[in-house]
Amino acid sequence: MTFIETERPNGVVARWESRRHRKRGSRGAAPRGSWWCPRARGWWIGILFAVGSALFALGAVPGYAGMVGDRADSVTFFVGSLFFTSAGFLQYRESVDSGVPGGARGWGRVFVVRPRQIDWWASGVQLIGTVFFNVSTANAVRVDLSTSTALHHIWRPDALGSVCFLVASGLAWFEVCHGWGSWSPRDLSWWITLLNLVGSVAFGISAVASYIVPSTGQLRNVELTNLGTFVGALCFLAGAILLLPERTAASRAS
């Protein structure tokens, strides 16, 4: 379910949208402060995603690995993935709590299944993807891995994480646009989901390019791997920053 339209007695058609409902808070309270509101969960989601994206972009910058060393570069990606997972978990909780009557919350709600909520699927799949990135980047910190080990414990979870991000971004786009074709450049939510979708495609290209060729033990295309990661991270960074004003914009429009 992405939106509901109901006609009031006076003939006015009221439109309920799942993303706007979720971002303004399940209690309907108007969030204050677009750029500084550390008491708001939505603010932390944006900040954590932004930091994680910035670290991924930094790790992919040409020359960074040569300056700090391959292991420090791998640690940069690993730390960035932890920020992704933290933000992903908060976003998942946000989608779960948005479907709770009266805004009731509790840790037991983490395991609530809401198969009719597209945002539950999107945030849940993305959270799984961040965990795959945790695994791949953590294993990349290890040294002297055999080609077979690197292929199974670095490339495979990285590819699965990229697929999860692509699926989650597609679902989020469908939630906002109510279909695949849409043109709403005045809508912040449209820009956020578009940027995340483009970023996920770039991460997918990076994953394909980073396949470890068994005969050589080398990446298929190092330049394309770094370019895809860098472009994807920048898209995620821009989308994360836009999450901050989206909170208050959703409240004003509600």
The mean pLDDT value for 102-129 works out to: 75
Rounded to the nearest integer, the mean pLDDT of the chain is: 85
- DSSP string of 136-187? HHHHHHSSS--HHHHIIIIIHHHHHHHHHHHHHHHHHHHHHHSSS----TT-
Q: Which of 170, 18, 188 is nearest to 94 (CA)?
A: 18
Q: What is the pLDDT of residue 62?
A: 87
How many Å separate Cα 248 from the centre of its chain?
Answer: 20
Q: Which of 207, 125, 198 is nearest to 159 (CA)?
A: 207
Note whether residue 10 is domain-resident: no
pLDDT digits (tens, 9 = 90+) for 37-61: 998 999 999 999 999 999 999 999 9
Q: What is the pLDDT of residue 201?
A: 98
Rounded to 5 degrees, φ, ψ at 156 are -60, -50
Note whether residue 17 is domain-resident: no
Note whether residue 9 is domain-resident: no
Cβ atoms of 50 and 192 closer than 8 Å: no
Note whether residue 5 is domain-resident: no
pLDDT digits (tens, 9 = 90+) for 146-182: 999 999 999 999 999 999 999 999 999 999 988 888 8
pTM of the model: 0.85
The range of the structural domain enclosing residue 96 comes to 38-253
Cβ atoms of 212 and 155 closer than 8 Å: yes
The pLDDT confidence band at residue 8, using thresholds 50, 70 and 90, is very low
Q: What is the pLDDT of residue 55?
A: 98
Note whether residue 25 is domain-resident: no
Note whether residue 21 is domain-resident: no
Note whether residue 223 is domain-resident: yes
The number of folded domains in the chain is 1
Note whether residue 246 is domain-resident: yes
The pLDDT confidence band at residue 104, using thresholds 50, 70 and 90, is very low
